[in-house]
C-alpha cells in the first residue's frame, strides 16, 4: 500500500495568517498517461465527517472558499490556506487514489495560535 | 444534492456481526461507487470497501475475508456487514459516495464526497 505521511502533525497559526500543510506519498501518484496526480484533500471539523476540499491535487471542489489552494506533483503535495479563519480549525487529511487500496495520511490538526 | 443518512447497531460484543445501512437521496446510484470508510476514535481514516449500482464490489484486502457489501437500488440503500468483530473494529463508520477511477482492468475508488454523518460502533465484552 502507498503510505501517505503528513507534516506537521499539529499546526498553530494566527487568524489571518497563512497555513501550509504537507503530504508526502511513498511512491509517485502521478499518472503519466493523463498527467494527473491522483490525490485529494479533506477537512474534518470536530464532530463532523470529512469534507472534500481538493481533488486531482489542485482542483477545488465546488463551494470551497478560494483561500484554500493545493499544489504538488508525484510524491510531494501542499495544501495552503491563504488567510486562516476561525472556521478552518479542523484536521486535514490527504488521500491517494492512484493505487489500490486508496490510503489516507494520518492527519494534520490545524489550530489557532 | 446527494445526501447520505446511515444507521446501525452501535454496541457489539466480540465475534458478533457489524451491520450498517446507508440511505442515499437526491441523486442517482449510477456512475459512482458507494463506499464505507472507518475512523478509530482519535485516529485516521481507513477505506473499507465499496459497491457499484450493478453490484460490483471492491474491498480492502485487510478486511475482505470478513466483509460483505450489498446494494438495494429500489430502496436507495447500500449496506455493510463485517463479521467476527473484535475491539480493533471499534470506530466511527462512514458511508460515502466515491468517484470512479478507471486505470487498469477494474475500476477503483477516487475521491469521496459527500459523506454520511457517521456511526460510532463500539466492540466490547
- Whether the Cβ atoms of residue A112 and residue A15 lie closer than 8 Å to each other: yes
Place of cell 472556521: A87
Residues of chain A with pLDDT under 50: none
**Mean pLDDT of all residues belonging to chain B:** 96
User: How far B45 CA lies from chain A's nearest CA (Å)?
Assistant: 6
Of B117, B114, B119, B125, nearest to B2 by C-alpha is B114
CA distance A31 to A43: 25
B103 or B120, higher pLDDT? B120
Burial readout A25-52 (b: 16 or more C-beta within 10 A, e: otherwise): beebbbeeeeebbbbbbbbbeeeebbbb
User: How far A84 CA lies from chain B's nearest CA (Å)?
Assistant: 23
- Whether the Cβ atoms of residue A73 and residue A27 lie closer than 8 Å to each other: no
**Mean pLDDT of all residues belonging to chain A:** 97
Task: Look at A104 and B44 and tell me if their CB atoms are within 8 Å.
Answer: yes
CA angle A95, A100, A101 (to 5 degrees): 65
Beta pairing class for B91-101 and B77-82: unpaired
Q: B25-69, pLDDT tens digit by residue? A: 999 999 999 999 999 999 999 999 999 999 999 999 999 999 999
- DSSP run (H or E) holding B37: strand B33-39
- Residue B104 confidence (pLDDT) above 90: no
Helix, strand, or coil here: B32?
Answer: coil
Q: A19-30, pLDDT tens digit by residue? A: 999 999 999 999
Nearest to B103 among A31, A50, A55 (CB): A31
pLDDT tier for residue B103 given thresholds of 50, 70 and 90: confident
Q: Give the cell for residue B54.
A: 450493478
Percent of chain B exceeding pLDDT 90 equals: 92
Chain B contact for A64, CB < 8 A?
Answer: no
CA end-to-end distance (rounded Å), chain B: 40
DSSP code at position B84: S
User: How far B74 CA lies from chain A's nearest CA (Å)?
Assistant: 26
Amino acid at each position: 500500500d502507498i503510505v501517505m505521511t503528513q507534516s506537521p502533525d499539529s499546526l498553530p497559526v494566527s487568524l489571518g495568517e497563512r497555513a501550509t500543510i504537507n503530504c508526502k506519498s511513498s511512491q509517485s501518484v502521478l499518472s503519466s498517461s493523463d498527467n494527473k496526480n491522483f490525490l485529494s484533500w479533506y477537512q474534518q471539523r470536530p464532530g463532523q465527517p470529512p469534507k472534500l476540499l481538493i481533488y486531482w491535487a489542485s482542483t477545488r471542489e465546488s463551494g470551497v472558499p478560494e483561500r484554500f489552494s493545493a499544489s504538488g506533483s508525484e510524491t510531494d503535495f501542499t495544501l495552503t490556506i491563504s488567510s486562516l479563519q476561525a472556521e478552518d480549525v479542523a484536521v486535514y487529511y490527504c488521500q491517494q487514489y492512484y493505487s489500490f487500496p486508496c490510503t489516507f495520511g494520518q492527519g494534520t490538526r490545524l489550530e489557532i495560535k | 444534492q446527494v445526501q447520505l443518512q446511515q444507521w446501525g447497531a452501535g454496541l457489539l460484543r466480540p465475534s458478533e456481526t457489524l451491520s450498517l445501512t446507508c440511505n442515499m437521496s437526491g441523486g442517482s446510484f449510477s456512475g459512482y461507487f458507494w463506499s464505507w470508510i472507518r475512523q478509530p476514535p482519535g485516529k485516521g481514516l481507513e477505506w473499507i470497501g465499496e459497491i457499484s449500482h450493478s453490484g460490483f464490489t471492491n474491498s480492502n484486502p485487510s478486511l475482505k475475508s470478513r466483509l460483505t457489501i450489498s446494494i438495494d437500488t429500489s430502496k436507495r440503500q447500500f449496506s455493510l456487514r463485517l463479521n467476527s468483530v473484535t475491539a480493533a473494529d471499534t470506530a466511527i463508520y462512514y458511508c460515502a459516495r466515491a468517484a470512479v477511477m478507471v486505470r487498469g482492468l477494474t475500476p477503483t475508488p477516487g475521491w469521496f464526497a459527500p459523506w454520511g454523518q457517521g456511526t460510532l460502533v463500539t466492540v466490547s465484552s
